[in-house]
Amino acid sequence: MIATRHPLLSRLVRHAGRIALTVVLGGLLGATLVRLAPGFGVDEAELDSRLSSQSIAALRASQSGSDSVASFYWNYLSRLAHGDLGISRSLQQPVAELLRERTPGTAKSVALGLLLGWLLGLSLAVAVVMSRSWGVDLLASLLGGTLLCLPAAVLALLFLIARMPGRLVLALIVFPNIFRYTRNLLVRSAASPHVLTARAKGLGNFTVFFWHILRPAAPQLLALAGVSVSIAFTASIPVEALCDLPGLGQLAWKAALSRDLYLLVTLTMIVAVVTLGANSIADLLGHALSDHSSEVPA
Amino acid sequence: MKWARLFGIGFLIVVTFACVFANFVAPSYAHQFRDEPDAAPSRQHLLGTDDLGRDRFARVLYGTRVSLLLAPAAALVSSLLAVLIGGTAGFLGGWVERSVMAATDLFLSLPWLFLLITVRALLPLNVSPITSVAITFALLGCLGWAAAARVICADARSLAHSDFILLARASGSSGLRLLWRQVVPNLRPIVFAQFWISIPVFILTEANLGVLGLGVAEPLPSWGSLLRELQSYSAITGQPWQFVPLILFVVVVSCFHLVLLEQESPA
């Protein structure tokens, strides 16, 4: 009843439920992985020949934690409910503190990367559609295609060699994905019969583009915006690791190299929730836009 | 765009042949010419040597072989998993499809590289080169099925409601037989497209992992480890031939995209 009356509210609840489910299931999966991973409860310090058998036993007791996956997960969840994300084994610091330190750096890089990537991708896609010139299309497609074939890690290395700011790499990773999909979307939209009719009726280029080409494609572009957040976060690992930018990506890389699974699983969960949240917002906005468009008389 | 597709296919065939027969055209990738570290290109070493005196041309060929042969193998594994999961869910429909697709969506929401390095970190990092190759590409194959499963599920759903399936049901075909004899063969084109799309994705991911030191272990070369050499590149003592693996990498990955270009074209 409520769902039919308030479709937006129903969608909101569905998305919130999905995020909650991701946290619960992802947390369970992560806790299972951490608990069953080879080497769980073992510390490299045990290899220190100076330690006595009692010290090694004490070290093992401090590392082992709960025995079963269920009790391990329960402890993990109850700690999480109290805002305690545990302590990183490799960095010997509370995970919450590490996140507080590193999140602003990644947020800045990702925001800048998304902003520049979208600006470049959208501008070039619009230029291709508006100019209808094969030369512009070829040049833009070549640029996008080449960047699409370069791994983020290599772009980061090239930026290091050229002594350019590493944060810009994220923009070059986001750009080709945005350009490719936006271009295809706008070209398809521009070829629709209603656009031809609008042009035949003498509407100006600007009006035709905004009202008849861009607007119908807006929900899909919003969906792409959600996906681009995930792309930027994924690229942040190699970029921050290689360009020495202190952020969540660099933290994840260090955690992986030192097999700090607890930290790694927590980081993955947090980034997953952020990207899922971004996708949900994009989806809700897209639906709101489609509903609004359908209400506007033709 | 037919010429571009033909160029892509032709180039991939040439590179694959050169890599498969690397043993005949280049010395061993691990052999060290101790008197000639960091040597410039010469008749003996076409791309010079690296800082350990290993022939760079040989390493490029062997590294390309590792990536070019194992990325399709990983793509095959992920495509088969996608058919199994997505195809079955789409064919059965109902709550099975809804549950499987919800799980797939959750899986897709996990950022790809974060998920990959988490699972990679679960396994021992200090392993033999061959084991590291197997681990890297097996992980790619086992974790890369979700996007393909979604597409295959949608296709299987539409096939399950098509007339010829209705006819087959009316002729007395059972569920499993129907799936195996009627649905799966008709999924072939979409599975092949998903397989082909996965290859460059896996090559790029392996390169990212390799540069980060989480991919194929030394001394076995792969594109990831070859590209990592750029880390020691200095613009002052520039050795431009160090960029050859990168150029080859870009051209090969572009060729995979070119082969798909015609199908992706919006027109």
Q: B228-242 pLDDT, tens per residue? A: 888 877 655 677 888
The pLDDT value recorded for residue B10 is 93
Which residue in A157, A233, A234 is closest to B230 by CB distance? A157
Handedness of CA A281, A287, A291, A296 (dihedral sign): positive
Q: How much is the mean pLDDT over chain A?
A: 82
Q: How far is CA A16 from the centre of its chain?
A: 18
Does A26 contact B at CB distance below 8 Å?
yes
User: CB–CB of B211 and A234 under 8 A?
Assistant: no
Does B114 contact A at CB distance below 8 Å?
yes
> Which range, of A23-27, B82-86, B223-227, B260-264, averages the lowest pLDDT?
B260-264
Closest-CA distance of chain A to residue B147, Å: 13
The number of beta carbons lying within 10 Å of the beta carbon of residue B19 is 19
| Helix, strand, coil percentages in chain A from 3-state DSSP, rounded to 5 | 80, 0, 20
Does B195 contact A at CB distance below 8 Å?
no
Please give the C-alpha separations between residue B175 and each of B97, B156, B178, in angstroms, as whole numbers: 15, 13, 5
Contact assessment for residue B216 and residue B129, using Cβ atoms and an 8 Å cutoff: yes
Handedness of CA B106, B107, B110, B111 (dihedral sign): negative
Over residues A140-153, the mean pLDDT reads: 90
Distance between CA B111 and CA B137 in Å, rounded?
A: 18
Helix (H) or strand (E) holding B254: helix B244-264
- Cis peptide bond upstream of B41, omega within 30: no
The pLDDT value recorded for residue A296 is 47
Cβ neighbourhood burial of A64 (10 Å; 0-12, 13-18, 19+): exposed
pLDDT band at B204, cuts 50/70/90? very high
pLDDT band at A217, cuts 50/70/90? confident
Does A215 contact B at CB distance below 8 Å?
no
Contact assessment for residue B109 and residue A272, using Cβ atoms and an 8 Å cutoff: yes
> Which range, of A59-68, B85-94, B183-192, averages the lowest pLDDT?
A59-68
Collapse the DSSP code of B161 into the 3-class scheme (helix H, G, I; strand E, B; otherwise coil) and give the result: coil
The pLDDT value recorded for residue A297 is 44
With a cut of 80, say whether residue A111 has pLDDT above it: yes
The pLDDT value recorded for residue A2 is 53
Across-strand partners of A94? A87
Contact assessment for residue B246 and residue B230, using Cβ atoms and an 8 Å cutoff: yes
User: CB–CB of B266 and A275 under 8 A?
Assistant: no
Q: How far is CA A111 from the centre of its chain?
A: 11
Instruction: Search chain B and give the residue with CA nearest A271.
Output: B111
The number of beta carbons lying within 10 Å of the beta carbon of residue B258 is 21
Which residue in B115, B231, B250 is closest to A157 by CB distance? B231
Query: Which string of b and e fits A36-50 if b means at least 16 CB within 10 Å?
Result: ebeebeeeeeeeeee
Closest-CA distance of chain A to residue B160, Å: 27
Distance between CA A89 and CA A76 in Å, rounded?
A: 15
Q: Which of B7, B99, B101, B113 to mutate to test the interface with A (most CBs of A within 10 A)?
A: B113
The pLDDT value recorded for residue B79 is 94
The pLDDT value recorded for residue A5 is 64
pLDDT band at A298, cuts 50/70/90? very low
Tell me which amino acid residue B263 is: Q
The pLDDT value recorded for residue B236 is 54
Please give the C-alpha separations between residue B267 and each of A68, A135, A190, B112, B255, in angstroms, as whole numbers: 57, 17, 11, 31, 21
> Which range, of A81-85, A97-101, A189-193, B98-102, averages the lowest pLDDT?
A81-85
Does B122 contact A at CB distance below 8 Å?
yes
Instruction: Search chain B and give the residue with CA nearest A228.
Output: B111
Does A140 contact B at CB distance below 8 Å?
no
Cβ neighbourhood burial of A273 (10 Å; 0-12, 13-18, 19+): middle
With a cut of 90, say whether residue B252 has pLDDT above it: yes
Distance between CA B199 and CA A267 in Å, rounded?
A: 28
The number of beta carbons lying within 10 Å of the beta carbon of residue A223 is 16
What is the pTM (predicted TM-score) of this model? 0.84
Distance between CA B89 and CA B91 in Å, rounded?
A: 5
Residues in Cβ contact with A178 at an 8 Å cutoff, skipping those fewer than 6 apart: A117, A118, A120, A121, A122, A125, A224, A228
Tell me which amino acid residue A33 is: L
User: CB–CB of B117 and A264 under 8 A?
Assistant: yes
